[in-house]
Structure 1
Amino acid sequence: MKYRLPSTRLISLSLASAFVVAMPAAVLAAPHAKARAAAHKPKATAPVEPTMTTDANGQSVPVLANKAWVLMNFDNGQILASSNPDEPLPPASLTKMMTSYLVEQGLKSGKLKPDDKVTMSESAWCRGGKDGDSCMFVPLNAQASLMDMLRGVVIASGNDASKALAEHVGGSESGFVAMMNAEAKKLGMTKTQFANAAGLPDPNNKASARDLAVLAAAIIRNSAEYYPIYAEREFTYNGIKQGNRNALLYTDPTVDGLKTGHTEEAGYCLTASAKRNGMRLISVIMNADSKQARADQTRVLFNWGYANFEQASPAQAGATLTSAKVTYGVAPTVNAGIAQPWTLVVPKGQAAAVQTAVSLNPALEAPIAKGAVIGKIVATANGKALGEAPVVALADVARAGFFERLRQRVAGWFSK
């Protein structure tokens, strides 16, 4: 004989379930959000004195207790120091940097609008509990502006906002993931493969520390209009105020981004950027032991980097570096130089030791347009390559007429 609940009891259960589903996410998650806000309040700490070691180049570098780290110069992608920079590791919510970057680029192109309405679908909605550790808390089936959702990703690290934006931009999360991987390839992130928009645990969601530094640089450079969001310390939506988890934003005025991440598998991760005396550095920490450790290790890298390196400008933009021979042109030569400002980071005290060498493409032939790449300049110090930049034509060189070209050809025969 089967036991059945009385019909009135079934109705009560149904009404209760419906009430829970219909309740605003803010009501369900408010206690959790308050606990989270308290947990992420930064604490004042004494400066950490790092243990040092000597790398393969004879440089004294910090020893950090994590699986991988990178310190990169923003201007040219120069790696100042690193440990295990190219191993694909779980990036946790550092994944969200690609999600926010694609949204920012959509805004920049005009394909997306700041006031676009983004729907919180059931598949994206945070139900509280464990998933509520990273939520913007948009109610089920409610809509929020695209800019609110973007802040929900960057500041609140909302899994729900990340998924909702992925569905809005890509048609589905899987469609958006395809866009993420295409953009990663375009940026040269060779050790990265994304599997979801939020960085939730997945064996196929991996990124290297170097790749994440490259992505951070792309955000700073290509999303300049939206980059200030990464420095915002708090975000309030639906009555819930959430603080940015990047503790350095509260303790170091030179830090202005970017993103934290954490899962049990990934450990505690942090991608950050600081700018001091005109020099911007990007740091990536992966798989630290705690929130405090990831913040302390980032401080160590920034303090070490700024204490040991300085900027050097091997050549000035627009200045003539050399003269390039041109055949079949109305002029026999064209001045060559660099088009954009070029800075490198060198060990302190070595800026004066930087040397440059220019190499030009062989057999330059008119017409040549101003700005066309016709060679490269390489900077070295103490025999070590520091970086290179394209050398361009500083003026147009039109193609000569038929008889002048014929004269040059005949002259060339006799000059051999």
Structure 2
Amino acid sequence: MKKNLKKIYALALAIIFLLGTFAPLKTLAADSEVPAEGEEVELTEEELEAKRQAEIKAEWERQVKKYINKDPDQLTTAYLVGDYASGEILEEKNIDDLVAIASTTKILSIYVVLDEIKAGHISLDDKVYIDKEISRLGGSSYKLKEGEEIPVEDLIKAALIVSGNDATKALAKYVAGSEEAFVEKMKAKLEELNITNYQIINSSGLPNYNIDKQNMLTTRDLFYLSRAFIKDYPEMLKITSMKELVNLERDFKEENTNPLLGEFPQVDGLKTGYTGLAGRCLVATALVKGDGEKTKDLRLISITMGSNSDAARYVAAKKLLKKSLDTYVYESLSNPNTLIASIEDDKLDPKEVNIYPKEEFSLLRKKSDFTNSTNTIEELEPPLKAGQTVGTISYYLNGEEVFTTDLIIKQDVLEASILRKIQGLYASLYMSLFKIFNS
């Protein structure tokens, strides 16, 4: 009996010990608000947003995967890659077909607005009144409200970064009094750029279903337009390279519509577009900085038109631009500051004369191409004047001559004095004897 009581007592102590051990775990579980089985977890707003973003990212990656093994030819109706500096077209497909350009129209619209600012007709600080028509405009939007007054500069940013149709039309009406009058200015700008094959009906690129028309250009002319826009207003690249547009006063925050921003560090613009007829379009530009000696800055403009989805456009544009960035380089072949030869002669004053190319010449080439040069230098007979030609140099690409220029000196060269000549003669004699006795 006593043994049984001892066993019962030991068992009771063990139970008490175990209860004491697990009590803190229960408390911890309660503090952590671990839900009971079958109970739904209530997420914070931050957690819900993180979950939503993860789902969006996963869906985007799934869409991209559908097209990743396809070529730009399969994903576009037209495309082009061109060199900004020379205007040379490097890659192309159907670039002379007239195609719907959707919101890439805004490159032209903002071009016209900037011309008006340059002419002093309006300023960046001008406030633009937002009327009912503008506030009701559909599609991509800056969410303008009737009665607001928005600075011209803010509307330009909204048009270029988030493709605000309302912002673009507000600028059009402010500049010209009506969108119809602004369209005439757009057409005049195209004619000024020698672009004659076009259809322009509005400032935004939205289709007009009442007349079954929308803005159209060839891809080649869209390239020429974009090139001129960057050339005349390079400061716009500071805007088109912004990853998002934030206006705290208007409680507005949206990402740039350009899908290649952040994908390539070289990309700093330019404009997207989409309508049912146009498909997904993108004008992108990227700058590769040169070293200032052997290579120069290379800016490419890449255009893809008519993709059937955002993911297809992204894949096509990314592949096309990456291929071009990997393929091409701007080489500085002839540089007036690059020393070609240094002639040393005791008959000359100065004794050492440096020789340089007269003209500058740079060449856009494939990285796999081969370049070289040959030169001919005349015997230097003083007196010679700075800038005088003393020879020629020719440059070759894959064995074919691409450029020839004179070789010049950059300082006057006189005949050395008699004393200098004698000193040179003795020095030459000494060296000859030294070689004989030390051979």
TM-score bin, normalised by smaller chain: 0.5 to 0.7
CA shift at 1:137, angstroms?
1.2
Query: Measured at CA, do residues 243 and 342 of structure 1 come closer, stay the same or move farther in structure 2, by a change above 3 Å?
Result: farther
1:258-297 correspondence runs (5 A): 258-277=270-289, 278-297=297-316
User: Does the 8 Å CA contact 1:119/1:141 hold for their aligned counterparts?
Assistant: yes
Query: Measured at CA, do residues 348 and 250 of structure 1 come closer, stay the same or move farther in structure 2, by a change above 3 Å?
Result: closer
Normalised TM-score (structure 1): 0.64
Query: Measured at CA, do residues 259 and 353 of structure 1 come closer, stay the same or move farther in structure 2, by a change above 3 Å?
Result: same
Q: Tell me the equivalent position of 2:113.
A: 103
Listed one character per residue, the Cα deviations across residues 360-400 of structure 1 (whole Å, up to 9, x for unaligned) are xxxxxxxxxxxxxxxxxxx99579999x9xxxxxxxxxxxx
Q: Tell me the equivalent position of 1:350.
A: 369
Listed one character per residue, the Cα deviations across residues 47-93 of structure 1 (whole Å, up to 9, x for unaligned) are 986667xxxxxxxxx63421110000111110001000011111110
User: Does the 8 Å CA contact 1:193/1:206 hold for their aligned counterparts?
Assistant: yes
User: Does the 8 Å CA contact 1:201/1:263 hold for their aligned counterparts?
Assistant: yes
CA shift at 1:141, angstroms?
2.8
Please tell me whether residue 169 in structure 1 is matched to residue 181 in structure 2.
Answer: no
Listed one character per residue, the Cα deviations across residues 80-120 of structure 1 (whole Å, up to 9, x for unaligned) are 01000011111110101111122223333433211101121
User: Does the 8 Å CA contact 2:165/2:204 hold for their aligned counterparts?
Assistant: yes
- Letter aligned with residue 257 of structure 1: G
Partners of 1:42 and 1:218 lie apart in 2 by: 38
Please tell me whether residue 305 in structure 1 is matched to residue 324 in structure 2.
Answer: yes
CA shift at 1:316, angstroms?
4.9
SS at match of 2:134: coil
Normalised TM-score (structure 2): 0.60
Q: Tell me the equivalent position of 1:214.
A: 224
User: Does the 8 Å CA contact 2:206/2:214 hold for their aligned counterparts?
Assistant: no
Partners of 2:145 and 2:194 lie apart in 1 by: 37
User: Does the 8 Å CA contact 1:134/1:156 hold for their aligned counterparts?
Assistant: yes
1:352-367 correspondence runs (5 A): 352=371
SS at match of 1:141: coil
Q: Tell me the equivalent position of 2:161.
A: 155
Q: Larger relative CO (CA 8 A, sep 6+): 1 or 2?
A: 1
Partners of 1:228 and 1:161 lie apart in 2 by: 19
User: Does the 8 Å CA contact 2:103/2:273 hold for their aligned counterparts?
Assistant: yes
Q: Structure 2 residue aligned with 1:112, among 118, 122, 132?
A: 122
Q: Tell me the equivalent position of 2:78.
A: 68
CA shift at 1:193, angstroms?
2.6
Q: Tell me the equivalent position of 1:393.
A: none
Q: Structure 2 residue aligned with 1:143, among 144, 149, 172?
A: 149
User: Does the 8 Å CA contact 1:88/1:207 hold for their aligned counterparts?
Assistant: yes
Partners of 1:305 and 1:75 lie apart in 2 by: 15
User: Does the 8 Å CA contact 1:283/1:302 hold for their aligned counterparts?
Assistant: yes
CA shift at 1:206, angstroms?
0.5
Q: Tell me the equivalent position of 2:47.
A: none
Query: Measured at CA, do residues 115 and 342 of structure 1 come closer, stay the same or move farther in structure 2, by a change above 3 Å?
Result: farther
Listed one character per residue, the Cα deviations across residues 223-280 of structure 1 (whole Å, up to 9, x for unaligned) are 1223210111111342121111111113221110011111111110000001124211
- Letter aligned with residue 148 of structure 1: D
Query: Measured at CA, do residues 298 and 384 of structure 1 come closer, stay the same or move farther in structure 2, by a change above 3 Å?
Result: farther
SS at match of 2:98: coil
Partners of 1:107 and 1:42 lie apart in 2 by: 43
Q: Judge which range, 268-277 or 74-83, deviates more.
A: 268-277
Query: Measured at CA, do residues 158 and 40 of structure 1 come closer, stay the same or move farther in structure 2, by a change above 3 Å?
Result: farther
User: Does the 8 Å CA contact 1:354/1:381 hold for their aligned counterparts?
Assistant: no
User: Does the 8 Å CA contact 2:75/2:313 hold for their aligned counterparts?
Assistant: no
CA shift at 1:46, angstroms?
7.6
Residue identity (%): 30
Size of the aligned set, in residue pairs, is 298
SS at match of 2:105: helix
Partners of 1:261 and 1:51 lie apart in 2 by: 22
Structure 2 gaps of 5+ residues are: 1-51, 290-296, 339-357, 375-394, 404-439
Higher radius of gyration, 1 or 2: 2
Structure 1 gaps of 5+ residues are: 1-34, 53-61, 320-336, 356-378, 389-416
